[in-house]
Structures are given as C-alpha cells and as structure tokens.
Amino acid sequence: MVAHKETVCVTGASGFIGSWLVMRLLERGYFVRATVRDPVCLNQNEVIKPTVNGVLGIMKACDKAKTVRRIVFTSSAGTVNVEEHQKNVYDENDWSDLDFIMSKKMTGWMYFMSKTLAEKAAWDYAKEKGIDFISIIPTLVIGPFITTSMPPSLITALSPITRNEAHYSIIRQGQYVHLDDLCNAHIFLYEQAGAKGRYVCSSHDATILTISEFLRQKYPEYNVPSTFEGVDENLKSIMFSSKKLIDMGFNFKYSLEDIDDNKEIKNGSAGLTDGMVACKKTEPGMAGEKADSHMSAQQICA
C-alpha cells in the first residue's frame, strides 16, 4: 500500500493487461485515471504509424504537463528476440532485427515492428527531454482476464487446443509470465526509486511440446496434439532472463500451472477455456473491449 494516495494514468485500460493493472492499482490505494483505445487496425499504416505516434503523443503530453514523475511503458518480447538465428538466452540489451521482420513478414510482424519502433522512439524522446522512463518487457502473458473478449496472447498460448497453426511458431520455444505477476511488476518498478532502463518480465520458458503436454493432461476432452510438424522431441527452450528485475527485489508468484487460475476473481469471470466458447462478464464499472487481433500498449504515468 502506498504511503499516500497518488494519481496515476493507465493507457489501454480496457485491454487484457490494462484492466487488471487498474484493479491492482486501486487495491493499493492509488487514484487511477484511464484511457481506452480504438482497436480497429488493419494494415501497416493503420498499425505501425499510429502505435509510434500514439506513444510519442503520450510522451509529449507528459512533458508538457510538467507534473509526471515517471512513465512505465509496457513493451513486448517482440522487441527483443525476433531475428533469424535464436540465442539461448535473451535480456534487456537485445533488440529484434527490423530488417528480418520486414523481409519475412511472419505472423504478428506488424505488432513486432510497431512495438520495437515505438519503444525506440520513446527512449529517444525520454533522453532528449530528461523524462524518467522505464520499459517493462513481458513475454507471452497468461492467466485469467476480466475483459469481454479472449486476449490475443491467450489465443496464442491456447493454440494447441484450437489447432490454430499460425500461432505455433510463436510458442515453439516460448516464454511466459502470469498477468498478475506482470501487473505487480509494473507497480513495483513504478515505486522503486532506483529503477532505470529496460526490464524483462518473464517467469517461465517452455517449448510447444511442454505446453501441449500440460494442456493435454488438464483438458483431455480437447484432444490436444502431442506432435507438431518440424518440432523435434529434443527441442530446447529459449530463456528470457529476468535477472535484472529479480535483483531489484521482485518475486514471481505464479507458475505455468496457473495458466487457468481464476481464484483472484470472485465475481463475474469464468475459467480460461470458458472464454473460448462464451463471452465473459466485466467487473462493475470496467469498460468492455472489442475483439482485436493486436495487443495494446499500457503506460503508468504519475
């Protein structure tokens, strides 16, 4: 709990991460102002440019206000490891290869491109204006949700159940973080005076074989596949190191087994797989989110 009540602003507050972050901030005694977004984006010009311009617009507004003490920007693992040859371990010093992304235009390429360009632009602007800026880099976010539609990251994580093969490449050698851990990390970094730079936020790594085995045991009724084209049983996982975050004193609470954990929500939310077949209710006072194939950015500004 904060020593005194502060006002913070959460952008993208109707989204998967933003809605949960608002809930956790309110529980800690913060006053929260929230903004929502128009989720309809279809092509390169409607995704990449608005993402970059939107982030810079927020940065400029914060600079103009002269009352914002810190910005915590939600980046993405897509800014770190999208490149031709994968390494065994990635950390905050790594950046995705934009030329490779443009040449391959793989599933999610506009998202990877927009998030990378947006974060780099934000860092340049923050350094130019002397803004206290931190970026947090989550891997694939799993866990319960209080939005009205299935979050895109869960569509990816559950692709072995739905047989959505276009997403298999993303979780072939995947990394994961629970939503609640991620939101707690946002607040932790906001409150830590010594926090500086980029922070990877990832608690687990697993191959698609590990994920499918877990899902197959937990949901036998879905007949989850046990083999995948081009995936060898000796496939090794790729790690996103959260050492910098952990060394600051942050502790992860959740495991991969909590992918369907919904004990935090007492009213109004069904289990993870229920969201695949039915719309979910929202918490009172929480705006609903339209169906969207793109993940949004969240910032805490105060």
What's 265's domain CATH number?
A: 3.40.50.720
Tokens describing residue 42:
């279809």
Res 268: pLDDT:
33
Nearest to residue 96, comparing CAs of 137, 133, 50, 131?
137
Domain-embedded: residue 137 = yes
Mean pLDDT (10-residue bins), the chain, 302 residues:
76 95 96 82 73 95 95 97 96 98 92 96 98 98 91 92 93 96 98 97 97 92 94 95 98 84 39 36 30 42 56
15 in Cβ contact with 147 (< 8 Å): yes
What helix, strand, coil percent values describe the chain, rounded to 5? 40, 15, 45
Res 257: pLDDT:
80
Cα 54 to Cα 197: distance, rounded to the nearest angstrom: 21
Cα 240 to Cα 30: distance, rounded to the nearest angstrom: 31
115 residue type, one letter: K
The single residue of 115, 120, 253, 290 carrying the catalytic annotation is: 115
Domain-embedded: residue 172 = yes
Res 273: pLDDT:
44
| Residues whose CB falls within 8 Å of the CB of residue 2, separated by 6 or more in sequence, listed in order | 28, 29, 30, 191
Res 40: pLDDT:
58
Domain-embedded: residue 2 = no
Cα 35 to Cα 64: distance, rounded to the nearest angstrom: 18
273 in Cβ contact with 219 (< 8 Å): yes
Enclosing domain of residue 88 = 7-301
91 in Cβ contact with 241 (< 8 Å): yes
The sign of the CA dihedral 13, 242, 1, 61 is negative
Domain-embedded: residue 282 = yes
Res 259: pLDDT:
64
Res 272: pLDDT:
44
Tokens describing residue 150:
């299935």
- Ramachandran area for residue 12 (φ above 0: left; ψ -120 to 50: alpha; else beta): left
Res 300: pLDDT:
59
Res 107: pLDDT:
82
Burial class (CB in 10 A: 0-12, 13-18, 19+), 25: buried
Cα 292 to Cα 30: distance, rounded to the nearest angstrom: 29
Catalytic site includes residue 115: yes
Cα 21 to Cα 13: distance, rounded to the nearest angstrom: 8
Domain-embedded: residue 39 = yes
Cα 289 to Cα 151: distance, rounded to the nearest angstrom: 10
- Tell me the CA distances in angstroms from 214 to 63, 210, 259, one per residue in order: 47, 6, 10
Domain-embedded: residue 1 = no
- Ramachandran area for residue 123 (φ above 0: left; ψ -120 to 50: alpha; else beta): alpha
190 in Cβ contact with 302 (< 8 Å): yes
Number of domains forming the structure of the chain: 1
Tokens describing residue 66:
């002269």
240 in Cβ contact with 205 (< 8 Å): yes
Domain-embedded: residue 72 = yes
Domain-embedded: residue 203 = yes
